[in-house]
Chains A and B, each alone.
Chain A
């Protein structure tokens, strides 16, 4: 009985050893022949291995370089970085960096492809026409003040024009330039009818003063 067990064990060990060798040989062959393809496939899969961080609070210590007229660090997409105040229309809302619909649900959105206050370029801010945000935007008049209280300073603008444009013409009409600091604020129009709006109410304001905190 003792010998039988030893014989069995020898067979098992022998076959396991051969199997191990076969496995190593197979792996060696496969990795040698297809390593670049495997690495490419792994890189490709890992390129999707990113979790989104949808933070909605201010995070960074953002400052502006008044010489270069650029922010030293920019807020993360989805962060609150300012409050917009239009006293004449009783408007006050948080401003998010980004203008995707999921951000506009919580406040007004700053178009990420536009400049920030103090950078000397076009600033584009959009919001829903709800009473919480820009529902009273059409009540503003030329000469009214808009204040943007950014985390790095306060900027004042004066409205000099407004217009109603087709939504599809937004890209052409609202040009982003870097030669003058213009604030463009818009919302869906008309504000007091329900349904999907094909027009936008846009106000244009120019910079009149700033103070860096």
Chain B
């Protein structure tokens, strides 16, 4: 009876360990991916986000140039790709820190003003209302800032991000300690050593989650805020799903190794 209770108790503890291993794996994956601003920046770089954003800003601005009697040529070289990348990265870093940020548009405004003055000089406009010009420049500035900051939508997630990061860090520590305790209980108190089950279970759960997610979410058609952001979101989600599959394979291998090690000891 005692032996049966030990076996049931051991399997119960193994079940809890498996779930905890699954959860801590997901938390660690999140910590190094979506909750990590360097991961996000690397993916932006890999997917040519900055160049696409540059083109997008110029396109959005061009809708206003036509409306205001200008030609698109006034938008030439008003900001560089390097400046845009710097501002975007600064914005991302601050978002992850939960801080707000003012985008520096001073150089852009100065160059745009120069371009406009040059255009007016060459085009022979008889009447120029400086208020209208200023309003146009303000509009361009708003467009520039809105495109980088995703119209403020990204900042809304900033507070949630920092909270999730801090909770997940604490949770990782707590779960890690819990797993150690459970392992010790199983090995020392209950004298049961079937740790392979833990890795196998965690791996199967990860694979199932992968399968369920891919089959229920229309990932290919996912649309978040804009086409540009959607492209990055899709790439990152696919990347994270791939990482989770690799981890599940590693867990299966670890599980197999633990099974083999266990048996080798017993046969001596």
Contact = CB atoms under 8 A, between A and B. Distances in A.
Interface stretch (B35-43, B87-95, B161-169, B200-208): B200-208
A109 to B, nearest CB: 12
Nearest to A43: B216
B208 A23 contact: yes
A209 B123 CA distance: 41
A188 B67 CA distance: 7
A70 B14 CA distance: 69
B52 to A, nearest CB: 16
A102 interface: yes
Nearest to A11: B259
A27 B204 CA distance: 10
B200 A16 contact: yes
Given A101-B64, A196-B135, A49 B221 contact: yes
Nearest to A46: B218
B11 A18 contact: yes
Contacts of A196: 64, 67-68, 132-133, 135-136, 139
Nearest to B125: A194
Given A42-B217, A194-B132, A196-B135, A48 B223 contact: yes
Given A15-B255, A19-B201, A104-B67, A194 B116 contact: yes
B5 interface: no
A50 B223 CA distance: 6
Contacts of A8: 259-260, 263
Secondary structure call for the B interface: helix
A169 interface: no
A12 B259 contact: yes
B224 A104 contact: no
Contact of B197 (A22, A25, A129): A22
Contacts of A193: 69, 125, 127-129, 132
B156 interface: no
B205 A49 contact: no
Contacts of A130: 66, 69
A26 B19 contact: yes
B48 to A, nearest CB: 20
Contacts of B153: none
Contacts of A190: 127
Interface residues on A, range: 35 or more
B15 interface: yes
Contact of B221 (A16, A23, A50): A50
B267 A7 contact: yes
B126 interface: yes
Contacts of A49: 217-219, 221-223
Interface in A1-28: 4, 7-8, 11-12, 15-16, 18-20, 22-23, 25-27
B69 A129 contact: yes
A130 B66 CA distance: 7
Nearest to A27: B208
B224 A48 contact: yes
Interface string A195-213: 1111000000000000000
Contacts of B203: 19
A153 B239 CA distance: 53
B200 A15 contact: yes
A20 B66 CA distance: 63
A22 B199 CA distance: 11
B132 A192 contact: no
Contact of A4 (B135, B219, B267): B267
Contacts of A188: 67-69
B133 A105 contact: no
Given A11-B259, A15-B197, A105-B66, A22 B18 contact: yes
Nearest to A130: B66
A35 to B, nearest CB: 12
Given A45-B217, A196-B133, A196-B139, 19 more contacts: A8-B260, A11-B262, A12-B196, A12-B260, A15-B200, A18-B201, A19-B200, A23-B201, A26-B15, A26-B201, A50-B221, A52-B227, A105-B63, A192-B126, A194-B116, A194-B136, A195-B68, A195-B132, A196-B68
Interface of A: 4, 7-8, 11-12, 15-16, 18-20, 22-23, 25-27, 42, 45-46, 48-52, 101-102, 104-105, 128-130, 188, 190-198
7 contacts: A12-B260, A48-B222, A52-B223, A128-B67, A195-B132, A196-B133, A198-B132
